[in-house]
């Protein structure tokens, strides 16, 4: 049976098959279809509604939207704007980053649930006949012939089949099935933290805006989703069992202690079913490709949640891949060997930004988050504001440095014209 898109329509063979409907996969699919390349995106779920996906769309990604002529339509979707990032450290409010002086079109981070971001890219992609999205379609393995990837094995409600294409792009996240099937070597860089996600109601008199709360032994980020707070409670790696052993009431007390304004609503955490564990991984492929296969986004380099830059690195990967590959994919006379010859160029373009960003994340994890989590308020210790942040409060212009690192990053990509 011929594969069908999300509208049930039969699909013509695709030049490129992208596995994973996250930011990297959807953006690459859109960019290639916009250039005229027949492309299919496979997403194993029936929609994009995963509650604990990241929300931050940074200025570099907003610049990409502007270059595509989509910025006004994108910002017409419900979102919040963070022009500055602040945190409460041992009860003291501290400025972390100021985006208002960046040399970008948008001098803010747009806070938009990732499913809205992905819905937007899908809607824009479907303006092009070359773009096809298959939901409830799981890629379970690779089809290889003579040492080359020539397609993917897919599972749908109708059964198991194979889909042939000239290039498979693995954008299926940090637990990528395809990179494992390809036997690509993963370097585990390490992460000393995990994250517990939960929702708490937002009251009418709560201040607007996302932020963070830090004290000895505790760190929690609060993401403003208009009607509720999405909370990320950071714990030591593998520490979930010890936290659960203390009981849900003790956990509620910890949340109330680190974020006093939430003390009147922590009873909404009724049980551990209301708390979801994100096991943080930081890793990177040594080689991002093999003949007929390219890995991008978290499938190539799983990022820490530090800085919330994962979605933006994924988009940058997609832009670079589209810029480099679109001409060879557009030409039906170009061989599979010609496509493969360009895959190392994609890695060469994007590996350096991934390495630098991960190095900074690991430094923050090891030098800031780990010491915070190892502190013990019960022993009378307090986490004091680091000297570099104290300096940034005295000279606010210094808050532009982390704003650039987070908002623009290393080697931002631009959409190729023409």
Q: Is 389 left (phi over 0), alpha (psi -120 to 50) or beta?
A: alpha
Give yes or no: residues 214 and 147 share one domain: no
Give yes or no: residues 249 and 357 share one domain: no
pTM: 0.90
Give yes or no: residues 225 and 244 share one domain: yes
Give yes or no: residues 247 and 264 share one domain: yes
The percentage of residues in the chain with a pLDDT greater than 90, rounded to a whole number, is 65
Give the integer Cα–Cα distance in Å for 362 and 359: 5
Average pLDDT over residues 361-378: 74
Give tens-digit pLDDT for 264-306.
Answer: 999 999 999 999 998 888 999 999 999 999 999 999 999 988 8
DSSP 136: S
Residue 99 inside a domain? The answer is no
Full domain range(s) for residue 256 = 193-280+369-405
CATH number at residue 304: 3.50.50.60
Q: Which element (helix H / strand E) includes 316? A: helix 310-330
Average pLDDT over residues 34-59: 84
Give yes or no: residues 314 and 381 share one domain: no
pLDDT at 149 over 90: yes
Q: Is 380 helix (H, G, I), strand (E, B) or coil?
A: coil
User: Which tokens hold the place of 203?
Assistant: 């009251």
User: Which tokens hold the place of 131?
Assistant: 């773009």
User: Which tokens hold the place of 93?
Assistant: 């409010």
Give yes or no: residues 176 and 259 share one domain: no
Q: What does residue 22 show for φ and ψ, rounded to 5 degrees?
A: -90, -170
Under a CB-based contact definition with an 8 Å cutoff, are residues 96 and 389 in contact? yes
- pLDDT category at 1 given cuts 50, 70, 90 is very low
N residues, the chain: 418
Residues near 180 by beta carbon (within 8 Å), at least 6 away in sequence:
none
Give tens-digit pLDDT for 210-258.
Answer: 788 888 778 898 887 778 888 999 998 889 999 999 999 999 999 998 8
Beta bridge pairs of residue 194? 235
Nearest residue to 412 (alpha-carbon basis) of 331, 313, 340: 313
């Amino acid at each position: 049976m011929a594969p069908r898109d999300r509208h049930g329509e039969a699909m013509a063979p695709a030049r490129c098959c992208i596995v994973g409907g996250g930011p990297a996969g959807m953006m690459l699919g859109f960019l290639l279809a916009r250039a005229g390349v027949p492309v299919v995106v496979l997403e194993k779920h029936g929609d994009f509604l995963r509650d604990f996906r990241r929300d931050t769309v940074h200025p570099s990604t907003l610049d990409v939207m502007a270059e595509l002529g989509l910025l006004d339509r994108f910002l017409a979707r419900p979102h919040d704007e963070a022009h500055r990032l602040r945190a409460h450290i041992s009860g003291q409010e501290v400025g972390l980053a100021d985006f208002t002086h960046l040399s970008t079109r948008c001098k803010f981070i747009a806070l938009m649930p990732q499913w809205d971001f992905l819905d937007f890219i899908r809607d824009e992609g479907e303006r092009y006949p070359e773009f096809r999205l298959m939901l409830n379609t799981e890629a379970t393995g690779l089809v290889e012939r003579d040492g080359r990837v020539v397609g993917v094995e897919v599972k749908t409600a109708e059964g198991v089949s194979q889909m042939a294409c000239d290039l498979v792009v693995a954008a299926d996240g940090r637990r990528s099935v395809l990179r494992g099937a390809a036997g690509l070597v993963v370097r585990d860089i390490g992460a000393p933290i995990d994250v517990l996600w939960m929702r708490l109601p937002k009251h009418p008199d709560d201040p607007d805006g996302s932020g963070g709360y830090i004290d000895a032994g505790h760190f929690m980020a609060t993401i403003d989703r208009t009607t509720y707070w999405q909370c990320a409670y950071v714990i030591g790696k593998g520490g979930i069992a010890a936290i659960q052993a203390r009981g849900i009431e003790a956990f509620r007390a910890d949340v109330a202690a680190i974020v006093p304004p939430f003390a009147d609503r922590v009873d909404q955490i009724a049980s551990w079913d209301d708390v979801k564990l994100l096991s943080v991984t930081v890793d990177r492929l040594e080689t991002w490709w093999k003949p007929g296969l390219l890995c991008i986004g978290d499938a190539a380099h799983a990022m820490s949640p530090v800085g919330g830059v994962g979605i933006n690195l994924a988009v940058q990967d997609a832009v670079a891949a589209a810029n480099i590959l679109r001409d060879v994919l557009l030409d039906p006379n170009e061989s599979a060997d010609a496509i493969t010859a360009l895959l190392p160029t994609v890695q060469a373009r994007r590996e350096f930004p991934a390495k630098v960003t991960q190095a900074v994340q690991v430094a923050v994890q090891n030098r800031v988050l780990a010491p915070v989590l190892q502190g013990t308020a019960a022993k009378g210790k307090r986490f004091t504001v680091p000297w570099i942040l104290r300096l940034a409060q005295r000279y606010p212009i210094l808050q532009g440095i982390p704003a650039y690192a987070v908002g623009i990053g290393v080697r931002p990509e631009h959409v190729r014209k023409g």
